[in-house]
């Protein structure tokens, strides 16, 4: 009886499958380490497996492999195809250098050649182990399991995509495991090794694996059940926002935005503390290239400027002409740059510092004596810029054709962008006549079209799927990256220059000292928003994300029409008697007996229907009353939209909001001031809307300045808060 291990064709198939399995190991290593000459490494693996298959003795195979390794080093590091005197001299010198480094334990002095040799030794050992498992143990399960884990870990925690690799590994692994099990079974049952018997068992195995693979590929697939585990692990590591963002759904600030999407776990690790008169958006940088999956920055563009302490900086946002304000930032995480509000004029620190600003990404990197420096505290002088509404209403669409050439990169869109994205942007802005109105229309679109802000159950686009298209037309659910990226892309489809901006929102108000508020900003406050260019005006901040209130300050310098009469309050209009109704009522009263007789007969005939109708109505009324906090906000929003914009209407809307918040469960303590209650509401929802509404209410009611309150302007903030109470 011949052992199946002696069958050359059977063993050749096994070694061929092993080669393909090793390729799946080598490929991600080559990709992630940016190592070249993949083909030469594969030749080494193939030659090693071939020698193992042919049972070449070690005293021959060993020197041959060593000779190949030496030739590889000569060819790659010197460019010589043969062992010339120059190549031999290079090998000798490099060997001496690495030997000296090893003897002195100076590991940093070892060369790339030494690391290459170590990598070849690793491949050599892997070939030997697999040869042992296949030829002697007839088992490959451990190697198969390690391969699956290896690719899965790389796919999750690195930029390497293992979507197709994992399919190849499963097919190769199942074939290997099945054939090796067949070999063990035949040996255990002393089955005579014959080609027809092997085919009888092997063909069904191959057919089943091929059929199951085809079904798996072509059947519809559900989305991921679990969110991306990287943010969850990161949130427990204490490094939620530090360093680079190397994964999807990264918590906090990170520099890699090439792949957006996915859910993330909140991280309240403090980043910095800001002492400022009122909350600000803290800008870090912007990016200009949309790739259908995320954002990148155009390389080798822009000018760099170096500023010192108290030097006037130019960020493209000129401070308002009013008195400048001061912000003090105390960093709790280490960043080699400064965060700055809009309208920044200068930075100041106790020690000498260089602030290097690049116009490409608008980021201020910090250096001291030529080395990167991570400031602990920085004082910023600024005043938020204000924009004339008159000038914004004069931003003609024709001016977009005469924009400066350097703004061209802010119109970039990938060729793969689905056409329906641009069609939607055109539909949204169809009735808008100016650049500003079109931009505001897209900004408002998300809050009025059923979109939902959420950080969980957010999908990652497939390989052939566009990030913005998926959000606009499929999920309509996401967080700031989804909203801001979508707005930038839609603006660019209308030829309006726009860029994607990253930083932090205002954070949580934790204390107030006189005119200064103290905000705690955490990784949870990492944020992205939009800057759009208005012809003749400049860059402006826009906030499309639902629930966030950052926006540019507008100077409402338009003249109002005093001849436009204010609508009378419907509730204050006198009721007019209708003579026809009075006559009908008198007629009904005079004919009372006949009416009562008819009613009694109707009730007698339909009493059970009436009883069950009343019971059902009572149950429905009870249910509606129980869940009134869910449907009442929609009713209130519709009601107040249909009313006028008088100060009295605003006061009633504000009091209705207080009742709704109390119904929602956020109760105002006895004796608590409206300002304190508003600060608590804002900290609960993470906004500044309640404080703005409260300030306007107190100015109207207690300050006697009702005419300064613009209800139409405040209504959006009021609606946002009302809608939040429906959750």
Say whether both 167 and 272 belong to one domain: no
pLDDT at 236: 45
The residue among 525, 556, 587 that closes a domain is 556
**Res 276 pLDDT > 80:** yes
Residue of 15, 2, 13 lying closest to 206 (CA atoms): 13
Residue 580 included in any domain: no
pLDDT at 27: 85
Is the whole-model pTM more than 0.85?
A: no
Domain count, the chain: 3
**Res 350 pLDDT > 70:** yes
Can you tell me the distance from the alpha carbon of 415 to that of 193, in angstroms, rounded to the nearest whole number? 59
Residue 646 included in any domain: yes
Residue of 554, 531, 111 lying closest to 284 (CA atoms): 531
pLDDT at 725: 76
Can you tell me the distance from the alpha carbon of 196 to that of 672, in angstroms, rounded to the nearest whole number? 90
- pLDDT tens digits for range 450-462: 899 988 878 888 8
Can you tell me the distance from the alpha carbon of 18 to that of 50, in angstroms, rounded to the nearest whole number? 11
Residue 225 included in any domain: no
Confidence bin at 591 (pLDDT 50/70/90) = very low
**Res 329 pLDDT > 90:** yes
Say whether both 485 and 351 belong to one domain: yes
SS in 3 state form for 382-443?
ECCCEEEHHHHCCCCHHHHHHCCHHHHHHHCCCCCCCHHHHHHHHHHCCCCCCHHHHHHHHH
The residue among 503, 526, 556 that closes a domain is 556
> What separation in angstroms does the CA of 122 have from each of 38, 279, 652?
15, 56, 76
pLDDT at 586: 42
**Res 16 pLDDT > 50:** yes
Pick the more confident residue, 606 or 559: 606
- Coil, helix or strand at residue 187: helix
Average pLDDT over residues 119-136: 87
pLDDT at 565: 41
Confidence bin at 252 (pLDDT 50/70/90) = low
pLDDT at 225: 55
Can you tell me the distance from the alpha carbon of 521 to that of 540, in angstroms, rounded to the nearest whole number? 23
**Res 559 pLDDT > 60:** no
Give the single-character DSSP code of 672.
Answer: -
Of 5-19, 29-43, 282-296, which gets the smallest average pLDDT? 29-43
pLDDT at 464: 87
Of 275-279, 369-373, 410-414, 586-590, which gets the smallest average pLDDT? 586-590
Residue 502 included in any domain: yes
**Res 188 pLDDT > 80:** no
Structural domain for 102, as ranges = 4-218
Say whether both 250 and 189 belong to one domain: no
Average pLDDT over residues 8-15: 86
Q: In what side-by-side order are the strands of the sheet with 538-542?
A: 282-287, 498-504, 526-534, 538-542
Of 333-342, 475-484, 578-587, which gets the smallest average pLDDT? 578-587
- pLDDT tens digits for range 668-702: 888 788 888 888 888 888 888 888 888 888 888 77
**Res 709 pLDDT > 80:** no
Residue 563 included in any domain: no
- pLDDT tens digits for range 375-408: 999 999 999 898 988 899 999 988 888 888 889 9
Say whether both 252 and 325 belong to one domain: yes
Average pLDDT over residues 176-182: 86
Average pLDDT over the chain, rounded to whole? 81
pLDDT at 455: 84
Can you tell me the distance from the alpha carbon of 696 to that of 249, in angstroms, rounded to the nearest whole number? 38
**Res 296 pLDDT > 80:** yes
**Res 196 pLDDT > 70:** no
pLDDT at 58: 86
pLDDT at 31: 74
Strands (E), 474-604: 477-478, 498-504, 508-513, 516-522, 526-534, 538-542, 553-555
**Res 653 pLDDT > 70:** yes
pLDDT at 77: 84
- Are 718 and 694 within 8 A, CB to CB? no
Confidence bin at 307 (pLDDT 50/70/90) = very high
pLDDT at 603: 67
Say whether both 212 and 268 belong to one domain: no
The residue among 502, 526, 556 that closes a domain is 556
Say whether both 168 and 257 belong to one domain: no
Say whether both 650 and 702 belong to one domain: yes
Say whether both 331 and 411 belong to one domain: yes
Give the single-character DSSP code of 499.
Answer: E
A 10 A CB-CB count for 511 gives: 11
- Are 455 and 264 within 8 A, CB to CB? yes
**Res 194 pLDDT > 80:** no
Token pair for residue 610?
Answer: 């009436």
pLDDT at 581: 42
Pick the more confident residue, 60 or 626: 60
- pLDDT tens digits for range 95-105: 888 888 888 87
- Coil, helix or strand at residue 278: coil
Say whether both 210 and 302 belong to one domain: no
The stretches of 410-568 forming alpha helices (DSSP H) are 419-428, 435-445, 467-470, 480-493
Say whether both 252 and 192 belong to one domain: no
**Res 176 pLDDT > 50:** yes
Residue 56 included in any domain: yes
Name 283's bridge partners: 340, 503
pLDDT at 192: 67
**Res 576 pLDDT > 80:** no
Residue 623 included in any domain: no
pLDDT at 281: 93
pLDDT at 380: 94
Residue 330 included in any domain: yes
- pLDDT tens digits for range 230-249: 544 544 444 444 333 333 44
- pLDDT tens digits for range 425-443: 999 999 999 999 999 999 9
Say whether both 506 and 365 belong to one domain: yes
pLDDT at 490: 96
What percent of the chain has a predicted confidence (pLDDT) above 90? 28
Say whether both 385 and 500 belong to one domain: yes
**Res 197 pLDDT > 60:** yes
pLDDT at 499: 95
Can you tell me the distance from the alpha carbon of 497 to that of 286, in angstroms, rounded to the nearest whole number? 13
SS in 3 state form for 89-138?
HHHHHHHHHHHHHHHCCCHHHCCHHHHHHHHHHHHHHHHHHHHHHHHHHC
């Amino acid at each position: 009886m011949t052992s199946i291990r002696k069958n050359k064709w059977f063993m050749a198939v096994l070694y061929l499958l092993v080669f393909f399995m090793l390729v799946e190991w080598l490929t991600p290593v080559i990709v992630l380490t940016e190592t070249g000459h993949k083909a030469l490494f594969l030749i080494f693996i193939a030659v090693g497996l071939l020698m193992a298959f042919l049972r070449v003795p070690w005293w021959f195979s060993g020197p041959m492999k060593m000779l190949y390794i030496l030739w590889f080093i000569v060819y790659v590091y010197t460019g010589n195809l043969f062992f010339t005197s120059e190549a031999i001299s290079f090998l000798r010198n490099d060997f001496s250098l690495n030997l000296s480094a090893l003897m002195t334990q100076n590991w940093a002095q070892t060369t790339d050649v030494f690391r290459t040799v170590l990598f070849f030794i690793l491949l050599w050992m892997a070939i030997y182990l697999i040869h042992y498992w296949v030829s002697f143990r007839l088992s490959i399960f451990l190697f198969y399991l390690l391969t699956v884990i290896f690719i899965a870990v790389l796919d999750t925690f690195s930029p390497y995509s293992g979507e197709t690799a994992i399919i190849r590994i499963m097919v190769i692994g199942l074939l290997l495991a099945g054939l090796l099990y067949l070999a063990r079974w035949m040996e255990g049952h002393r089955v005579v090794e014959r080609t027809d018997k092997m085919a009888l068992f092997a063909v069904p195995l191959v057919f089943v694996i091929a059929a199951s693979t085809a079904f798996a590929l072509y059947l519809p697939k559900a989305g991921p059940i679990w969110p991306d585990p990287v943010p969850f692990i990161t949130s427990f590591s204490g490094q939620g926002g530090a360093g680079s963002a190397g994964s999807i759904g990264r918590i906090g600030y990170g520099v890699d935005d090439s792949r957006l999407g996915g859910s993330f776990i909140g991280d309240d690790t403090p980043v910095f503390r800001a002492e400022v008169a009122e909350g600000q958006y803290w800008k870090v940088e912007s990016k200009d290239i949309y790739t259908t999956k995320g954002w990148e920055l155009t390389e080798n563009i822009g000018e760099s400027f170096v500023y010192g302490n108290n030097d006037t900086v130019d960020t493209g946002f000129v401070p308002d002409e009013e008195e400048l304000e001061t912000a003090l930032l105390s960093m709790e995480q280490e960043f080699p740059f400064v965060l700055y509000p809009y309208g920044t004029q200068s930075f100041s620190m106790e020690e000498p510092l260089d602030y290097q600003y690049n116009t490409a990404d608008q980021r201020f990197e910090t250096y001291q004596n030529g080395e990167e420096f991570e400031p602990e505290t920085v004082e910023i002088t600024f005043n938020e810029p204000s924009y004339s509404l008159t000038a914004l209403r004069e931003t003609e669409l024709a001016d977009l054709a005469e924009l400066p050439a350097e703004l061209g990169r802010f119109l970039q869109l990938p060729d793969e962008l689905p056409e329906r994205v641009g069609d939607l942007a055109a539909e949204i802005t169809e009735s808008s006549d100016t650049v500003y109105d079109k931009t505001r229309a897209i900004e408002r679109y998300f809050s009025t079209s059923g979109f939902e802000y959420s950080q969980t159950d957010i999908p990652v686009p497939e390989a052939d799927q566009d990030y913005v298209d998926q959000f606009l037309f499929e999920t309509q659910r996401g967080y700031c990256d989804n909203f801001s990226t979508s707005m930038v892309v839609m603006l660019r489809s209308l030829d309006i220059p726009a860029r994607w901006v990253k930083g932090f929102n205002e954070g949580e108000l934790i204390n107030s000292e006189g005119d200064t508020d103290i905000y705690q900003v955490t990784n949870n406050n990492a944020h992205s928003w939009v800057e759009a260019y208005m012809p003749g005006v400049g860059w402006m901040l826009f906030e499309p994300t639902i629930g966030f209130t950052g926006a540019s300050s507008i100077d409402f310098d338009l003249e109002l029409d005093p001849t436009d009469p204010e609508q009378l309050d419907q509730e204050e209009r006198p009721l007019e008697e209708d003579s026809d109704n009075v006559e009908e009522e008198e007629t009904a009263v005079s004919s009372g007996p006949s009416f009562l007789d008819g009613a009694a007969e109707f009730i007698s005939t339909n009493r059970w229907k009436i009883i069950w109708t009343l019971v059902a109505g009572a149950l429905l009324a009870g249910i509606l009353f129980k869940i009134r906090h869910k449907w009442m906000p929609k009713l209130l929003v519709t009601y107040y939209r249909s009313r006028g914009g008088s100060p009295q209407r605003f006061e009633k809307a504000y009091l209705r909001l207080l009742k709704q918040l109390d119904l929602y469960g956020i109760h105002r303590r006895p004796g608590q001031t409206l300002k304190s209650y508003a600060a608590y509401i804002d900290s609960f929802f993470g906004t500044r809307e309640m404080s703005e509404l409260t300030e306007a209410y107190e100015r109207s009611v207690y300050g006697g300045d009702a005419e300064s309150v613009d209800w139409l302007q405040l209504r959006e903030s009021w609606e946002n808060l009302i809608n939040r109470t429906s959750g």
